[in-house]
């Protein structure tokens, strides 16, 4: 669920942020305003409102991934937009324009290769947030409760008073799995950030 929602969010956010920064104008103003407004609203609150308004029986894992993706695109949009705005002013882009290279040529030959590390970092960040949401919604009883997911496991453990019954391992196992996943994703994100930002690279 987290991977699907993260990929959808990063894909849409990349398209929106890239086009906004590259073409500019009123379109960029609208996208920037929309992202700034939506980022002020807690994403989990939006997901809770949407999920609580849906029928639990028809709320499948696929639909939950799509719902989570609704809040997974704002961050990547802002990151990609800022990077493209910075790259547009680089000498190699200006030289490509002077040499008569088309906009599509500049996008795919000059900008996209340099954006790949940032896209990877944005994907990891979006997947991390989507995993948190995909665990949080079922744990609150707002997801598909018949599917064997970590969030559902936590929900039923709390529903059955696992801690009061001294069945602590019902909660310990999913919590340990979540911690391991977040540590792994953090290490991947740190590696991608080190690759994308020369200033944080370790001295060889």
Q: Say how far apart CA 73 and CA 170 lie, in whole Å.
A: 34
In sequence order, what E strands does the chain have? none
Give the pLDDT of residue 114.
79
Q: Say how far apart CA 150 and CA 147 lie, in whole Å.
A: 9
Give the pLDDT of residue 196.
62
- Residue 134 domain boundaries: 2-200
Cβ partners under 8 Å of residue 151, min gap 6: 134, 135, 136, 137, 138, 139, 143
- pLDDT under 50 in the chain at which residues? 203-204
Give the pLDDT of residue 197.
62
Give the pLDDT of residue 56.
66
Give the pLDDT of residue 137.
82
Residue with tokens 């009883």, as numbered in its chain: 141
CATH number (domain holding residue 55):
1.10.3720.10
Q: Say how far apart CA 142 and CA 174 lie, in whole Å.
A: 18
Q: How many domains does the chain have?
A: 1
3-state secondary structure of 14: helix
Give the pLDDT of residue 203.
46
């Amino acid at each position: 669920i987290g991977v699907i929602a993260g990929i959808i969010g990063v894909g849409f956010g990349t398209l929106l942020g890239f086009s906004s920064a590259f073409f500019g104008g009123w379109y960029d103003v609208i996208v920037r305003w929309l992202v700034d407004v939506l980022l002020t609203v807690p994403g989990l609150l939006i997901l809770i409102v949407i999920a609580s308004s849906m029928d639990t029986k028809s709320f499948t894992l696929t639909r939950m991934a799509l719902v989570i993706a609704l809040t997974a695109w704002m961050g990547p949009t802002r990151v990609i937009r800022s990077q493209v705005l910075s790259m547009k002013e680089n000498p190699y882009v200006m030289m490509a324009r002077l040499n008569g290279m088309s906009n599509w040529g500049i996008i795919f030959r000059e900008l996209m290769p340099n954006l790949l590390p940032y896209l990877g970092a944005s994907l990891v960040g979006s997947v991390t947030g989507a995993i948190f949401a995909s665990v949080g919604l079922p744990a609150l009883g707002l997801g598909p409760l018949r599917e064997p997911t970590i969030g559902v496991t936590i929900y039923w453990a709390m529903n059955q008073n696992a801690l009061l019954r001294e069945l602590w391992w019902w909660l310990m196992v999913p919590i340990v799995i979540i911690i391991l996943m977040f540590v792994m994703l953090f290490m991947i994100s740190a590696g991608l950030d080190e690759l994308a930002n020369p200033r944080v690279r370790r001295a060889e």
